[in-house]
Chain A
Amino acid sequence: MSIRGVNISIKGLGYRYSSRGNPTFSNLMLESPRGEALAIIGRSGCGKSTLLHIIAGLNRPTEGTMHFDDKKIEGPSSRWVMMFQAPHLFPWMKVSQNVGVGLGFAGWPEKEKAERVAEALKLVELSDYADTNVQDLSGGQQQRVALARSLVMEPELLLLDEPFSALDAFTRASLQRDVRSIAKRLGFNLIIVTHDIDEAILMADRALIMAGAPGKIVHEFEVNLTDPRQRQDPAVQSMRARLMDAFHTAAQVAGSPAEKAEAETASEPA
Chain B
Amino acid sequence: MSNHPPAAGLAGTRTSRAAEATARGVLNFSLGLLILAALWGLGGYMISINPKTQSFAGFGLIPTLTSFPELWQLGKLQSAIAASGYRLGMGMLIAIAIGVPIGIIMGRSKRFRELSNSSFQFLRMISPLSWMPIAVFVFAAWDHSIIFLIAIASVWPVMFSTAAGLAKVDPAWFKVARNLGATPVQMLTQIILPAISFDIFTGIRLALGIAWVVLVPAELLGVTSGLGYAIKDARETLSYDHLTAMVLTIGVIGYVLDTCCALLVKRYSWHRGDA
Contacts and interface: CB of A to CB of B under 8 A. Distances in A.
Interface in A31-90: 56, 58, 76-78, 81-82, 84, 86, 88, 90
A104 B180 CA distance: 10
Interface string A175-210: 000100000000000000000000000000000000
Contacts of A174: 1
Given A90-B191, A91-B270, A128-B5, A102 B172 contact: no
A105 to B, nearest CB: 5
Contact of B1 (A104, A105, A125, A129): A125
Contacts of B172: 84, 86, 88
Contacts of A104: 186, 190
A149 B181 CA distance: 12
A105 B181 contact: yes
Interface in B253-275: 270-272
Interface residues of A, number: 31
A132 interface: yes
Nearest to B180: A102
Nearest to A86: B172
B180 A153 contact: yes
Contacts of A264: none
Nearest to A56: B179
Interface string B177-208: 11111110010001100110100000000000
Given A58-B175, A105-B183, A135 B3 contact: no
A91 B194 CA distance: 10
B7 to A, nearest CB: 12
Interface in B141-200: 170, 172-173, 175-183, 186, 190-191, 194-195, 197
Contact of A81 (B179, B271, B272): B179
B194 A101 contact: no
A218 interface: no
B189 to A, nearest CB: 11
A141 B182 contact: no
B176 A84 contact: yes
Interface centre among B180, B183, B197, B271 (most CB of A within 10 A): B180
B4 interface: yes
Interface in B105-138: none
A82 B170 CA distance: 17
B173 to A, nearest CB: 6
Nearest to B175: A58
A104 B189 CA distance: 12
Interface string B1-18: 101111000000000000
A55 to B, nearest CB: 12
A81 B180 contact: yes
B5 A129 contact: yes
A78 B191 contact: no
Contacts of A102: 180-181
Interface in A10-46: none
Contacts of B195: 90, 92
B5 A78 contact: no
Contacts of A56: 179
Contact of B176 (A77, A88, A92): A88
A178 to B, nearest CB: 8
A128 B179 contact: no
A117 B236 CA distance: 68
A126 interface: yes
B185 to A, nearest CB: 10
Nearest to B176: A88
Given A84-B175, A88-B172, A105-B182, 11 more contacts: A76-B179, A84-B172, A86-B172, A92-B197, A105-B180, A105-B181, A125-B1, A135-B272, A141-B3, A149-B180, A153-B181
15 contacts: A76-B181, A78-B181, A81-B179, A81-B180, A82-B179, A86-B172, A88-B172, A90-B173, A90-B191, A104-B190, A105-B180, A125-B3, A126-B3, A132-B6, A136-B6
Closest 10 CB pairs between A and B? Answer: A102-B180, A92-B270, A78-B181, A88-B172, A105-B181, A105-B182, A91-B270, A92-B194, A128-B5, A88-B176
Interface of B: 1, 3-6, 170, 172-173, 175-183, 186, 190-191, 194-195, 197, 270-272
